Amino acid sequence: MPRRAVLVAALALALTACQERTVSSNRHLQPIPPQTLALMSTKGVDQDDPILVRVFKMESELEVWKMAENGQYTHLKTYPICRWSGQLGPKMREGDRQAPEGFYAVSPGLMNPNSSFYLSFNTGFPNAFDRTHGRTGSHLMVHGSCTSRGCFAMTDEAIQEVYALAREAFEGGQRAFQFQSYPFRMTPENLAQARYDQHNPFWRNLKEGWDYFEVTRREPPVEVCGGRYSFGTQNCSPIDPTVTAMVRARAQQDEIAIAQLIEAGTPAVRVVYEDGGGHPSFGLANARQIDASSATAFAALDTGRNRNTDRLGIVSRPEALAAGPRLVPVDSSGRPLESATATAIAATTAPATPAAIAPAPTATASVAPAVPAATGVPAAPGVPAQAQEPFYARMLGGLFSTLPLGGREVQTDPTAPQPPQRGAAVMNGAQPLWPSAGYATLD
């Protein structure tokens, strides 16, 4: 009977997101480290200026950007992510262990100063896009420690600094910061390699937001039109035609680069994980040990502790991290090639620490494998063409359409919120949640 109770408890733990008990402390009041304040000074930004956050699963990195006097964002710091769970791709349903992908708005009410994972903030999942597609889930957080069931675990040291940066931005008047979550950096190399992944249409939609930010260095206005994210639009029409043209030109350059990579023989692959990953700087790739106190392999699902990395606290499923990601060659339908064997991904980024300062990513940076190319890109050598269309149309698709980005007819979604801009009013209906009964116990 006791053993059955343990299994039931373990199952309940495995099916939840990052729920937790309440821990009261003054962690949320800790100041921004002096070194980071000095860095802000060199970049011409203040601690109370607005922030924007970008997350990349495959690279296991979180970036914080600060708004400068000219209204554009400048890259401040990059923090390694200790642990995220699931596979590349969006979160679909409660309990799938997937960390979300998409564009979210994090308001003060989504900050949790009483997290048992040190500190945390809710990503805001599900947003209007997720609800449109029937995606379910709750308490998808960015928090401390190194354990994840659909969250981004940053370590206590890193989340303390990120939390302080958000707190000071709110103190300065920012109503909500935009949280952009990607499967990987949207480079031509990554997109060429992952061109046949089942999530390709969704990822290419996210790239439209990536392009907007890369071109303007401003927070992209976001709404949902015709079941897709629409960037730089209001009521599904472009806000600034000049900006729209600039974003299209950048997207065109990337499409040409993708087509050239494919014609040069870049293979189509799928990146497969046992259960998510983490940044190589934490040395978890060799974390094959699990705490012997775990009663069963099932009960050990999320209670593994790597004896060599006790400084990180609990490390969820270290054996899955040790397995590492694999590159699986696929055909044009996304199925693994029978004659191909999965190969381990070689580390391509230099180790970093949670306090490491990394330069802002560039449009041409290639850090890791990639995503499927958009419909219409020429097939790789040996793969039949997707459609009997002119090469030009297949390569560039709807880039020169007069419709919003992506060249599709759209319809207004009157319930879709737009991320607030600096000085904007608090989101309609938004209320601070953490002081209310119950929320502080959830992560």
Could you list the active site residues? 143, 151
Nearest to 394 by CA among 264, 259, 263: 259
Identify the CA nearest to 178 among candidates 138, 217, 233.
217
Q: Which residues pair with 103 in a beta bridge?
A: 180
Half-sphere exposure of 301 (CA within 13 A, CB side): 18
CB half-sphere exposure, 291, CA atoms < 13 A = 18
Q: Quick check: helix, strand or coil at residue 366?
A: coil
Q: Alpha-carbon distance 375 to 386, whole Å?
A: 8
177-182/152-153 β-pairing: unpaired
Q: Which of 252, 263, 278, 248 is nearest to 195 (CA)?
A: 263
Beta-bridge partners for 75: 65
Six token digits for residue 294: 């775990």
Beta-bridge partner residues of 343: 327
* Residue 262, SS3 per DSSP: helix
Which residues fall within 8 angstroms of residue 338, CB to CB, at 6 or more apart?
none
Query: Pairing mode, if any, of strands 237-238 and 269-272?
Result: unpaired
Q: Which residues pair with residue 106 across a beta bridge?
A: 177
Between the alpha carbon of residue 382 and those of residues 200, 331, 379, the distances in Å are 21, 10, 8
Dihedral of CA atoms 443, 66, 157, 124 in degrees, nearest 10, equals 10
